[in-house]
A and B are shown apart, each in its own frame.
Chain A
Amino acid sequence: MKYIIAIIKPHKIDDVMKALEEVDVNLMTVSNVLGRGRQMGVTEVYRGTKEVGSLLKKVKLEIAVNEDFVEPTIQAITKGARTGEIGDGKIFVLDLPDVYRIRTGERGGTAIG
């Protein structure tokens, strides 16, 4: 099992969700995050003087999948989120030792989906 974390542009979330549905990946956790990459974000100006923040708004997706779904999930996120411009984001793939479904007490691969 893998735990896939993707950081994407906020306005691409619908495209990514659509692409994930096409490969039958329907479960995910989504959150608003701030971050920056090599371009170091952008600068904000308050009343002409104070500069604050250099972080961009991004959306973070977290998806737990069984091994068969790892490649399709990565492909779907890439397809949905890519614009070809700076700031398209990243996908991190982590090993996932175990999963529990709270309601039934199931664990492992059967509890994931």
Chain B
Amino acid sequence: MNTGDTGWVLTSSALVLLMTLPGLAFFYGGLVRRKNVLSVLMQCLIILCVITLQWVLFGYSLTFGPDTGQGIIGGLDWLGLRNVGGQPNTDYAATIPHYAFMIFQCMFAVITPALIIGTYAERIKFSAFLAFTVLWATFVYDPLGHWVWGTGGWLRNLGALDFAGGIVVHTSSGVSALVLALLIGKRIGMERQHFAPHNLPFTVLGGALLWFGWFGFNAGSALSANELAAMAFVTTTVATAAAGLTWALIEWQQNGAPTALGAVTGAVAGLVAITPACGFVNPMNAIFIGIIVSFLCYVAIAKVKSYFKYDDSLDVFGVHGVGGIWGTLATGLFAEKAVNDAGANGLFFGGAQQFLVQCMLVVVTVVFAGAMTWLIFKLVDALIGVRVEKTKEIVGLDLTQHSESAYTLVD
């Protein structure tokens, strides 16, 4: 047991909590219209409550519990945190209490379904949101997390590299968001008018808190307060800086002005892209990963989305899906054993095999998350109905789902 490691992982757990609330909540909350801001904050808050309980009751056991034998799912040995205690679990983190590893991973399980909120924002029933979230966490996140990170997981055994969740967190939520956007349909009035974000300062504030919290997410994933954590911290912040600047420059060239929304979106895309790679690549390649991700995500949002006209309202697929896929593939290109001996060499360092593994990782995740999301949506839609009635959508989710409004016109 190492007290420094324990201190860092517990701190990182709190940092990742901060990413969901208030980070992501305000990042998304600023982007919706005034009548829906509370619904977004509420969804983030309730995911924090519900998935924390799901995790300690059975989610942790399904994801990280002893494998049932086929590499598909964890067993039920750790149900309700049975057999999880203060002593380290040497399979996952030998120098910190098992509790610390469990609660660190809990925050990842929380933020992943919260990312999806951005795609169905402003038109989902609260009850349907709850049902979808719990089912998605149980049948998409938990199995996928087991495959990639769990001891005995079949993708982990193939040598898949995902340092902090480019696949498990970002690609899975991003792809699911695209499927949901197609299934739930466009917001009323989308064809006629552009919905302007109601509070961009909130969005910049939330984006900045995401960047801050992401140090826990990425550097914390070293699970030790060591040189690997320091390196992941550095690669994370340089990739983000490069991506934020690149996005602003692209906009400046394309539209004549760099925007705050563009820069903060670029920064988040950079954070996403470096997530799977941060513990395996050197800082100069991290900059390159950051620059490329802004080009890819910009095209996905400004060109592809407007061409196909789907309403992924807050660009979950455009940022997390595209960024996560690029980061996962980039890990297969730029990973070096010279950086992290526990990793592998990517294509540019003589490891073509690793690149193929990363490609397969992407394909498996896209197919699995996409198909399961389709299935869960159909189930919830048949049982509860996913979308609010037209009049409720027009009045807004704050008033119709939560009986309150964020702002008053007169005091």
Mark A residues whose CB is within 8 Å of B.
9, 11, 14-15, 32-34, 42-46, 53, 57, 85
For the A-B complex, the count of residue pairs with Cβ-Cβ distances under 8 Å equals 26
**Complex contact B399–A46 (CB within 8 A):** no
**Complex contact A34–B193 (CB within 8 A):** no
Q: Point out the residues of chain B lying under 8 angstroms from A42, CB to CB.
A: 395, 399
Q: Point out the residues of chain A lying under 8 angstroms from B383, CB to CB.
A: none
User: In whole angstroms, how far apart are the Cα atoms of A38 and B192 in the complex?
Assistant: 30
User: In whole angstroms, how far apart are the Cα atoms of A53 and B395 in the complex?
Assistant: 15
| B70 contacts partner chain A, Cβ-Cβ < 8 Å | no
| B254 contacts partner chain A, Cβ-Cβ < 8 Å | no
Select which of A15, A32, A45 is within 8 A of B409 by beta carbon.
A32
Q: Point out the residues of chain B lying under 8 angstroms from A11, CB to CB.
A: 188-189, 394
User: In whole angstroms, how far apart are the Cα atoms of A83 and B405 in the complex?
Assistant: 24
**Complex contact B403–A43 (CB within 8 A):** yes
| B391 contacts partner chain A, Cβ-Cβ < 8 Å | yes
| B302 contacts partner chain A, Cβ-Cβ < 8 Å | no
Q: Point out the residues of chain B lying under 8 angstroms from A34, CB to CB.
A: 409-410
Which chain A residue lies CB-closest to B394?
A11
**Complex contact B405–A14 (CB within 8 A):** no
Mask, B377-411, CB within 8 Å of A = 1, is: 00000000000000100110001000111001110
> What 7 A-B pairs come out closest when comparing CB atoms?
A45-B403, A14-B193, A34-B409, A11-B394, A44-B404, A44-B403, A14-B192
* Smallest CB separation, B252 vs chain A (Å): 30
Q: Point out the residues of chain B lying under 8 angstroms from A43, CB to CB.
A: 403
Select which of B189, B192, B409 is within 8 A of A33 by beta carbon.
B409
**Complex contact A44–B409 (CB within 8 A):** no
**Complex contact A45–B193 (CB within 8 A):** no
Q: Point out the residues of chain B lying under 8 angstroms from A9, CB to CB.
A: 394
Which chain A residue lies CB-closest to B408?
A53
Q: Point out the residues of chain A lying under 8 angstroms from B394, CB to CB.
A: 9, 11
User: In whole angstroms, how far apart are the Cα atoms of A11 and B35 in the complex?
Assistant: 11
Complex A-B: 7 CB contacts under 8 Å = A9-B394, A11-B189, A14-B192, A15-B192, A43-B403, A45-B403, A45-B404
Q: Point out the residues of chain A lying under 8 angstroms from B395, CB to CB.
A: 42
Q: Point out the residues of chain A lying under 8 angstroms from B189, CB to CB.
A: 11, 14
* Smallest CB separation, A14 vs chain B (Å): 5
Which chain B residue lies CB-closest to A42?
B399
User: In whole angstroms, how far apart are the Cα atoms of A18 and B403 in the complex?
Assistant: 32
Q: Point out the residues of chain B lying under 8 angstroms from A45, CB to CB.
A: 403-404
* Smallest CB separation, A57 vs chain B (Å): 7
* Smallest CB separation, A19 vs chain B (Å): 12
**A85-B409 contact, Cβ under 8 Å, with A14-B192, A45-B404:** no
Q: Point out the residues of chain A lying under 8 angstroms from B410, CB to CB.
A: 34
* Smallest CB separation, B394 vs chain A (Å): 5
**A57-B409 contact, Cβ under 8 Å, with A44-B403, A46-B404:** yes
Q: Point out the residues of chain B lying under 8 angstroms from A85, CB to CB.
A: 391
Which chain A residue lies CB-closest to B410?
A34
* Smallest CB separation, A43 vs chain B (Å): 7
User: In whole angstroms, how far apart are the Cα atoms of A53 and B410 in the complex?
Assistant: 10
Q: Point out the residues of chain B lying under 8 angstroms from A14, CB to CB.
A: 189, 192-193
**Complex contact A44–B192 (CB within 8 A):** no
User: In whole angstroms, how far apart are the Cα atoms of A44 and B403 in the complex?
Assistant: 5
Which chain B residue lies CB-closest to A46?
B404
User: In whole angstroms, how far apart are the Cα atoms of A34 and B408 in the complex?
Assistant: 9
Q: Point out the residues of chain B lying under 8 angstroms from A44, CB to CB.
A: 399, 403-405
Having A14-B193, A57-B35, one finds 10 other A-B pairs with CB under 8 Å, namely A11-B188, A11-B394, A32-B409, A33-B409, A34-B409, A42-B395, A43-B403, A44-B403, A44-B404, A45-B403
* Smallest CB separation, A98 vs chain B (Å): 31
* Smallest CB separation, A85 vs chain B (Å): 7
User: In whole angstroms, how far apart are the Cα atoms of A63 and B410 in the complex?
Assistant: 24
Which chain A residue lies CB-closest to B403?
A45
Q: Which of A9, A11, A15, A85 has the most CB of B within 10 A?
A: A11
* Smallest CB separation, B42 vs chain A (Å): 13
* Smallest CB separation, B228 vs chain A (Å): 46
Q: Point out the residues of chain B lying under 8 angstroms from A15, CB to CB.
A: 192
User: In whole angstroms, how far apart are the Cα atoms of A34 and B192 in the complex?
Assistant: 25
